[in-house]
A and B are shown apart, each in its own frame.
Chain A
Amino acid sequence: MDIDHDAIPPDVPDEDRRFFLKQSMFIAGLSMAPVDFLQAALAPDDGPVGNAVKVKLSLTVNGKRRRISIDPRMTLLDVLRENMGLTGTKKGCDFGQCGACTVHVDGRRTLSCLTFAVMQHGSKVTTIEGLSDGEKLHPLQEAFIKHDGLQCGYCTPGQVMSGVACIREGHAGSAAEVREYMSGNLCRCGAYPNIVDAILEVKKEGAKV
């Protein structure tokens, strides 16, 4: 079963919306059904095998090795959403301008819309679904809730993934630094001050991110 975060009705009251988000993140985490397993065993060191129609490759997504066969034109974003049902990662502009598709690839924050999945053969990808520990949210997710770091929530998975990386990179030393290093994540609702507060608080409290 796939949960579509986009399908949250806009008129859901705030508290319910948060519950829905929490719950759906959890369910999405559980529902990562194996997709299109292939016979061929692919070692990450070998290049992806295929032609202009289909390529076989393997990715480790949220700790789980996934083998897929896809059109080489598919971006990492589309593979996560369409093939793996991980719809937490959002498609905003699809041109690298909004940051909604931010995921971690081999520990670095990356725009999944601007990389072909085939280029990531052998990589380790973490999405918003892989950030929480089951039902236990990541400290930055908790801080977003506490500080009201979202309104419509569409940019939130990208903001959270980018915010975690921002803290890990050591660029959350001040509000000005956070604003600069989070500038690749747009929020059209304008929750920026609260997002900055959430990141600064997690950094200050020194929780393991």
Chain B
Amino acid sequence: MKPFQYLRPKTIAEAISMATDYPEAQYIAGGTNLVELMKRGIASPSKLIDINHLPLKKIEHRYDRLRIGALALNSDVAKHKSVLSRQPLLAQALLAGASGQLRNMATVGGNLLQRTRCSYFYDLALPCNKRKPGTGCGAEAGINRTHAIFFAGNGFGGNEKSSCIAVHPSDMCVALAALDTEVVINGTSGERRVPLKDFHRLSTLQPELDTNLQPGELVTAIEVTDNAFAQHSHYLKVRDRASYAFALVSVAAALQMDGGRIWDARMALGGVAHKPWRYWAIDLMLRGQAPSEKLFREVAEHEMQSARATTQNAFKIKLTSNAIVAALKAATGIS
């Protein structure tokens, strides 16, 4: 590991000024991903800015939204009263991820910013456009059973020099993508807000960039707008073992129902794309309808028409389709 100088800012402004002054600096919060990246030589900051002592841990409901500080721990968010009562989908997704120990360390901001777990990204001996732009994608013709099936436009991740078929590993972000979430970001020119859908990037052109965060910027909070989904939401995660594994496929379904009919529907898919994959058309397809397995099957197959398998992950198309049906059945309570 490359030597680094450890810095511990006391204020947000001090942290941002440190990150701006030292382009090779990186923020560290829980460290559950960054420490591994540093040990493997994938990240090598010369200054490590420890933001854990900034006042960004608060979870509160104000006006029409739940505001969660970027340093709130995943385990604290998952058991917070306001989260459980107002956004149970978020709590479910958090508890589906990682382990008790990791959830005690990982923060909400770090969860947003974690890197992919694609094995080519972690192996310095193999090509990877995300780790080393222009070297190619090892996964495309390699071991790719866990990789993406949804891409920007009609192509794969991009052209040969920029392709990337890695998936975003977060569970939390899949739930947030299904809900109306804004990411609050601070930088030298003040605060800005980005809808979660525009925070993460698809892999086209510059797969080395996971997000639209600018150099020196710091995520300070996320805000989830109130909704009427609490009674009919479900997070379904399908993985290679029963617990403590990244998703092969996950589905966050959030519905509003009244009188036996669906009046509003949101869905995002995890483990299938370079960012949490929002199923935008689902609201149009379900609105005003009575829940049934037949309807859910049609809805699932509709979205899967635009999926494309790589060499080893064709099974994921059927798996995702089945997972969508199962998540919608669980959310609506039909058997």
Contact = CB atoms under 8 A, between A and B. Distances in A.
Interface of A: 47-48, 50-53, 55, 71-73, 75, 94-96, 99, 102, 108-111, 113-116, 118-119, 162, 165-166, 169, 171, 179-185
Contact of A114 (B3, B31, B100): B31
A111 B105 contact: yes
B104 interface: yes
Given A119-B52, A162-B100, 17 more contacts: A52-B5, A52-B46, A53-B3, A72-B6, A96-B35, A96-B102, A108-B75, A111-B102, A115-B105, A165-B100, A166-B100, A179-B243, A180-B243, A183-B100, A183-B243, A183-B244, A185-B99
Interface in B215-246: 242-244
Interface of B: 1, 3-6, 8, 28, 31-32, 35-36, 39, 46, 48, 50, 52, 75, 98-102, 104-105, 242-244
A73 B104 contact: no
A47 B35 contact: no
Contacts of A116: 6, 28, 31, 35, 48
Contacts of A165: 100
Nearest to B46: A52
Pairs of residues from A and B, 6 with the lowest C-beta to C-beta distance, nearest first: A184-B99, A183-B243, A47-B8, A183-B244, A52-B5, A108-B104
Given A119-B28, A184-B98, A52 B4 contact: yes
A94 B39 CA distance: 9
B75 to A, nearest CB: 8
Nearest to A182: B100
B33 to A, nearest CB: 9
B16 to A, nearest CB: 17
B31 A115 contact: yes
B32 A111 contact: yes
A118 B6 contact: yes
A7 B333 CA distance: 55
A110 B35 contact: no
Contact of B104 (A110, A113, A183): A110
A42 to B, nearest CB: 13
A25 B98 CA distance: 30
Given A184-B98, A184-B244, A109 B3 contact: no
A96 to B, nearest CB: 6
Given A116-B6, A119-B52, A180-B243, A96 B100 contact: no
